[in-house]
Chain A
Amino acid sequence: MEPSSVAVGCERVTHEYGTGSTVSRTVTALRDVSFEVATGEVVGLVGPSGSGKSTALHIIGGLLEPNNGTVDVLGTDLTALSGAKRTRLRRDHIGFVFQQFHLLPALSARDNVALPLIERGVSRRERQRRAAELLEQVGLDDRMDHLPSELSGGEQQRVAIARALVADPEVVLADEPTGELDTGTGARVLELLVDVADERTVLIATHDERAMAVTDRVLRLLDGEMRQAGQFSDEQ
């Protein structure tokens, strides 16, 4: 991957849902959206439900292909990659945190965190060691062998953060990471995410504007269009 001062760049990105032949009605989730995120920057993608922020995040993560526009991640044009190559890029360079955690209920916290390392061919012993290290960083060293059902919502999201970071990605994408948590727990989880992410580039999609205190900059989406951008402090 080529070094770049711009970690993520979207240029006139448009995405519509329901463009398949069997669906007569289409919904424009993103319309001509352009923005850049610098390496090491923590950016909030803010907007009400349905504004297109999750779609933008999933396009950047290579989970969705935009109908129009280009998406550049770490110097690579995602729109020019095959599905398998996008999966590989996501595996090697991007960490995901979801609103609903999406931990495997059958696996312990440590095994959940270790999951992204499997496809890299890392040995089980090494996977376990690195997962334990990450869980220590998020303060769950005494909960490593617990199943997700034995953890609180905040603890599950901390496991998800550890999972997003275990493969040492350059970019972390968090989709409504506080959506399932109470305000206090949500704020602590965000602080932890930014803290543990260290120098990584972080994009956080959320409709909870109070949680944006941890970001360097805010991108505001409304009805699929970029409305304004600026420092979080500018919006107070």
Chain B
Amino acid sequence: MRQLLTKMHAVARLTLRQVRHERGRTVFVVLSIALAVLAVTLLASVGLGVLQTGEERFDRAGQDVWITADGVELTETGGIENPITDSHRLAADLERRDDVKTASPLAFHGVYVGTGPDDLELVTGLGVPNTHGDLSLESGDGFSEGDSHYANGTYDGPMSHEILIDPQTADRFDVDVGDTLYVGASRSSATEREFEVVGISDAYSQFLGTSTVTMPLSELQTVTGTTGTDRATYVTVTTAADADRAAVSDALQQSYPEYDVRTSEEQFKSLLSEYLLVLASGATLVVLALIAGIALTVNTLVLMAIQQRKELAALRAIGLSRGFLAGIVGGQGLILGLIGGLLGLLATPAFAFGLDHVAARVVGFEGLLRTPPEVYVGGLVIAVGIGTLGAIVAGWRVARDARVDTLHV
């Protein structure tokens, strides 16, 4: 036992001397491992963030049950197919039930928005019955009238000409609350209708992941010429206080078999299943990041071991065992993996913050990169665990191949 401790102490001393003496190599290996860990943590953060962000958006929407019909797909005009007809009547029917507190039809349609005829852009238009009570507005007060234009299906009520926009659209057109925007289903019709900006909020754009302008549902239907069928994409339902959302969902499905009724969790999963390719690509990226991280870490440490092959060959020639030599290289792997790993983990929050901002600008989602403790643990396991193991194996193999020809090179 004492001999073993003596040997282990000697291995530790030798390892530290090697690490301290070869500073250039140490810095290179540490930086390589740090980069490998950073690649793993950032990509894993994206993967986790995609799932968590999606779930949170649904939670934030505050809706318990989602009703739609057939598949909801993007249309060529940038909107989403609106499969539900007579949506106001359906919502009114639903609200008469005891287990339903509110029912709101939502419609999506691509609309042209701009400050002038030459400055129009196609964005997603969202029609809602009124400003949701818990909608967070950066500025403005939201809709004053709500869906009054509907007027029991006659569409002859007064149009409020009010619109909510997201911060990106506000920046793009340099408008603020009280300013005017043109909105229309086509470039030519857009300049015929002026809407006043009554609020700026990223709630809807965050939910959809794209620039969004929101207006009362009946006014969107009028602008896009869909009043005849009163189309909507979804009717969202909040259940009564004491009702179980799954039970309500089941009951609604029985009452309305022509529609697809889902709880918010089911709806989220349903949407995910429609983006299987995207998810598979994301998962593949995460797996590749893990493999690349492991490969880079192990490769760096193998190179480090190969660089020391002459020294290891000499040590073997003077009678030191393969186990001892593997211990020296493995010890270096442990130390360098630990330092490199911690460096990578320390850099992760800053890089995640920066990438998150880039992602928010590009795809519209904030908080897309998530760095829960599991991400850090995974990075450290790769750097220290895999790194040390790789270094030990490399040391063992290099010691095995450390022969005469090595000494003569």
A49-82: which residues lie under 8 A (CB-CB) from chain B? 54-55, 58, 61, 63-64
A105-163 contacts to B (CB < 8 Å): 105-107, 111, 115-116, 118-119, 121-124, 163
Contacts of A58 in B (CB 8 A): 403-404
Question: A106-B17, A121-B2 given as contacts; is B319 within 8 A of A87 (CB)?
Answer: yes
For the complex, give the distance between the alpha carbons of A103 and B313 in Å. Answer: 11
Residues of B within 8 A of A185 (CB): none
- For A90, give its contact among B17, B317, B404 (CB under 8 Å): B317
Smallest CB–CB gap between B380 and chain A, Å?
27
Is B85 positioned at the interface, with any CB of A under 8 Å from its CB?
no
Contact status B404-A55, CB under 8 Å: yes
Contact status of A167 and B314, CB under 8 A, knowing A106-B20, A121-B2, A121-B3: no
Query: Out of A64, A92, A122, which one reaches B404, CB within 8 Å?
Result: A64
Write out the residue numbers on chain A whose beta carbons fall within 8 Å of the beta carbon of B20: 106
Q: In the complex, A222→B240 CA distance in Å? A: 101
B397: chain A residues within 8 A (beta carbon): none
Q: Which residue of B lies closest to A102 (CB)?
A: B314
- Chain A proximity mask over B306-323: 1 for CB below 8 Å, otherwise 0: 000011011111111110
Contact call B10/A124, Cβ cutoff below 8 A: yes
Q: Does A84 contact B (CB under 8 A)?
A: yes
Choose from B4, B315, B322, B403 the contact partner of A115 (Cβ within 8 Å).
B315
Is B21's beta carbon under 8 Å from chain A? yes
Contact between A163 and B321, CB atoms less than 8 A apart: no
Cβ A64 vs Cβ B403 within 8 A: yes
Residues of A close to B255: CB separation below 8 A: none
List chain A residues, Cβ under 8 A from B242.
none
CA distance A106 to B315 in the complex (A): 13
Residues B320 and A118 in contact, CB atoms below 8 Å apart:
yes
Q: Which of B18, B317, B321, B407 has the most CB of A within 10 A?
A: B317
If A90-B317, A106-B20, A121-B2 touch, whether A54 touches B408 (CB-CB below 8 Å) is: yes
Total count of chain A residues near the partner, CB < 8 A: 37
A91-B320, A116-B318, A121-B6 known; A63 and B403 CB under 8 Å? yes
Q: Are A115 and B320 in contact (CB under 8 A)?
A: yes
Which among B7, B313, B322 is the interface contact of A118 at CB below 8 angstroms? B7
Tell yes or no: B22 within 8 A of A by CB. yes
Measured CB to CB, the closest approach of chain B to A81, in angstroms, equals 14
Pick from A92, A104, A122, A163: contact of B311, CB below 8 A. A104
Chain B contacts for A123, CB-based, 8 A: 6
Against B, the Cβ 8 Å flags (1 = close, 0 = not) of A87-106 are 11011101110111011111
Contact across chains for B310 and A116 when beta carbons are under 8 A apart:
no
B404 to A63, Cβ gap below 8 A?
Answer: yes
Within the complex, the shortest CB–CB distance from B162 to chain A, in Å, comes to 75
Q: How many angstroms from the CA of A94 to the CA of B10 in the assembled complex?
A: 21
- Check B407–A102 contact: CB distance below 8 A: yes
How many whole Å from A122's CB to the nearest CB in chain B?
7
The answer on a CB contact under 8 Å between A96 and B318 is yes
* Given A84-B321, A106-B20, A121-B2, A100:B407 Cβ within 8 A: yes
Q: Does A43 contact B (CB under 8 A)?
A: no
A-side contacts of B317, CB under 8 Å: 61, 63, 90, 96, 98, 102
B21 engages A106 (CB within 8 Å): yes
- Mark each residue of chain B from 6 to 34: 1 if its CB lies under 8 Å from any CB of chain A, else 0: 11011000100110111000000000000
A164 at the interface (CB under 8 A from B): yes
Closest beta carbon of chain B to A143's beta carbon, Å: 18
**Nearest CB of chain A from residue B312's CB, rounded to whole Å:** 10
* Inter-chain contact A124/B17, CB cutoff 8 Å: no
One of B2, B4, B314, B316 near A87 (C-beta < 8 A): B316
**Alpha-carbon distance A29/B199, docked complex (angstroms):** 89
B324 in the interface, Cβ–Cβ < 8 Å?
yes
Q: In the complex, what distance in Å separates the CA atom of A91 from the CA atom of B22?
A: 27
Contacts of A118 in B (CB 8 A): 6-7, 10, 320, 324
Given A90-B317, A91-B319, residue A98 in contact with residue B407 (CB < 8 A): yes
- In the assembled complex, the Cα of A91 lies from the Cα of B321 at a distance in Å of 9
The minimal Cβ–Cβ distance linking A104 to chain B, given in whole angstroms, is 6
Q: How far is the CA of A96 from the CA of B403 in the complex (A)?
A: 13
Closest to B16 in A: A106
Task: Contact check, B314 vs A98: say whether CB atoms are below 8 A apart.
Answer: yes
- Cα A87 to Cα B399 with chains together (Å): 12
Known contacts A115-B315, A164-B318: A124-B9 contact under CB 8 Å: yes
| Across the A-B interface, the 5 shortest Cβ-Cβ residue pairs | A91-B319, A121-B3, A102-B314, A106-B21, A106-B17
Q: Can you sample 28 A-B contacts with CB below 8 Å?
A: A63-B403, A63-B404, A64-B404, A87-B316, A87-B322, A88-B319, A91-B319, A94-B319, A96-B317, A98-B407, A102-B313, A103-B314, A104-B14, A104-B17, A104-B18, A106-B17, A106-B18, A106-B20, A115-B320, A116-B318, A118-B6, A118-B10, A118-B324, A119-B7, A119-B321, A121-B3, A121-B6, A163-B318
Task: Apart from A104-B315, A106-B22, A121-B4, list 12 A-B contacts with CB within 8 A.
Answer: A88-B319, A91-B321, A92-B319, A95-B318, A96-B318, A98-B407, A104-B311, A104-B314, A105-B311, A106-B14, A118-B7, A118-B10
